[in-house]
Chain A
Amino acid sequence: KAGVTQTPRYLIKTRGQQVTLSCSPISGHRSVSWYQQTPGQGLQFLFEYFSETQRNKGNFPGRFSGRQFSNSRSEMNVSTLELGDSALYLCASSPRGEKNTGELFFGEGSRLTVL
């Protein structure tokens, strides 16, 4: 099975721009979650989608948004980029959708640099 695929892998933006990141989960996985990884803040939960519905949202401003499509692929968008948004954005998929969480399978991430 192919793993979790994230695109693009690297991107550079300037302050005020917006960015869209894409994630294709492992085939059959219906849960997709997003995490921001920075050296200072570690891994922070952004949001999680299951069957096109956002089930959980982390403590990030409204500039961060996401969505999931019927084929379980997900996108996240960051508008009005700030320098502090520079980070590795990790997508993870899970085969489990019920309340008992299981293993998350992470993608390699999209590294965003904001200048």
Chain B
Amino acid sequence: GENVEQHPSTLSVQEGDSAVIKCTYSDSASNYFPWYKQELGKRPQLIIDIRSNVGEKKDQRIAVTLNKTAKHFSLHITETQPEDSAVYFCAAVSSGGYNKLIFGAGTRLAVHP
């Protein structure tokens, strides 16, 4: 069935360092890959997404890469700041899946000043 694996489950970095979170999906028909950030006690919010016809996308300090052959996609955060501390979820959506997101288990990122 559909599955998304996410690693690592926790990540601790110093302010200014880079952080990388990796996800692997099982459904080769997946064509949309969003990343959501959830701060403690808050709702998940979209931070970046990528579609299967694109290999990389950047938005300021955040970038996402997609390797369709390997069914991998990754989130890269550069120059991390304490306000980046949150739980990050990757997700995948199959073609024709409308708004059915299959989420990874989440990565708790802690950025230490």
Q: Which A positions have Cβ atoms within 8 angstroms of B?
A: 31, 33, 35, 42-45, 48, 50, 55-56, 58-59, 90, 92, 94, 96-97, 99-101, 103-104, 106-109
Provide 26 A-B residue pairs closer than 8 Å at the C-beta atoms, listed in order of the A residue.
Answer: A31-B99, A42-B105, A43-B101, A43-B106, A45-B102, A55-B98, A56-B97, A56-B98, A56-B99, A58-B100, A59-B1, A90-B44, A94-B99, A97-B98, A99-B95, A99-B96, A100-B32, A100-B51, A101-B101, A103-B34, A103-B46, A104-B34, A104-B46, A104-B101, A106-B43, A107-B43
Task: Identify 5 new A-B residue pairs, CB closer than 8 A, beyond the known A43-B106, A45-B101, A106-B44.
Answer: A31-B98, A42-B103, A48-B99, A58-B100, A107-B43
- In the bound complex, how far is the Cα of B104 from the Cα of A108, in angstroms? 20
CB distance from B80 to the nearest CB of A (A): 23
The number of A-B residue pairs with CB atoms under 8 Å apart is 66
Q: Which residues of B contact A50 (CB under 8 A)?
A: 98
CB-based contact B49/A103 at 8 Å: yes
